[in-house]
């Protein structure tokens, strides 16, 4: 087996929250500034903590913006979150093959677990690293290093899968191999600039990388 463990980003990698995130930002900035952010403005902060986006676009109202965003996001979370084809089935095959898996996300741990439960995947991820557990966030290596510590594997034994340059940079700084997902909403050239070790055209490509028979 090529890798004993796989670390996954969540949003945009295992579950599709793009519409939820964009709608949450647009509602928030429409309410506080009378104008919604464009999808492109939102995509620029995919993979980073919510506070970073609010400090950039609304430095005079950061706490109010975060409060409004979270209220809208929690109310609409389940009906605006969708799945990616083949993800749940592939995760189950990896789990059955004995691969250890963890989530490394820039969102809160509780919200991440809620997203996993929507698609019955929380049982495969005993380790979820949320933003509140780290002092530094992606692209800093701290979240990945914390996941490695909890999963009890060396960097060389793990692969990081993500849809954002921040995911790849964080993993590389921690000494972990990286895989970029082709279904990202982020500009593909930005991901390629991080020189991922693998490119996943579909989630099933992970089975080939890990030398697991796709049955």
205 vs 199: CA distance, rounded Å: 8
Query: Which residue among 9, 11, 16, 167 is the active-site one?
Result: 9
93 vs 187: CA distance, rounded Å: 30
Question: Is 45:53 a contact under the CB 8 Å cutoff?
Answer: yes
104 vs 152: CA distance, rounded Å: 15
Active site residue 120: no
Q: Which residues have a catalytic role annotated?
A: 9
């Amino acid at each position: 087996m090529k890798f004993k463990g796989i670390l996954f980003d969540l949003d945009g990698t295992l579950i599709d929250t793009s519409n939820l995130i964009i709608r949450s930002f647009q509602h928030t900035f429409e309410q506080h500034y009378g104008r919604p952010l464009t999808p492109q403005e939102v995509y620029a902060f995919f993979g980073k903590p919510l506070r970073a986006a609010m400090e950039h676009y609304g430095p005079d109202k950061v706490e109010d913006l975060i409060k409004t965003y979270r209220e809208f996001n929690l109310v609409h979370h389940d009906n605006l979150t969708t799945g990616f084809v083949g993800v749940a089935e592939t995760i189950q095959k990896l789990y059955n093959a004995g691969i250890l898996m963890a989530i490394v996300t820039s969102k809160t741990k509780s919200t991440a677990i809620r997203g996993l439960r929507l698609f019955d995947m929380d049982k495969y991820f005993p380790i979820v690293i949320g933003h509140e557990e780290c002092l530094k966030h992606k692209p800093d290596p701290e979240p990945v290093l914390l996941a490695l510590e909890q999963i009890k594997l060396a960097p060389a034994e793990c692969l990081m899968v993500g849809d954002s340059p921040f995911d790849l940079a964080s993993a590389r700084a921690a000494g972990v191999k990286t895989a970029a997902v082709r279904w990202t909403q982020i500009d593909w050239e930005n991901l390629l600039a991080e020189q991922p070790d693998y490119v996943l055209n579909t989630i099933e490509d992970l089975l080939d990388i890990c030398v697991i028979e796709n049955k």
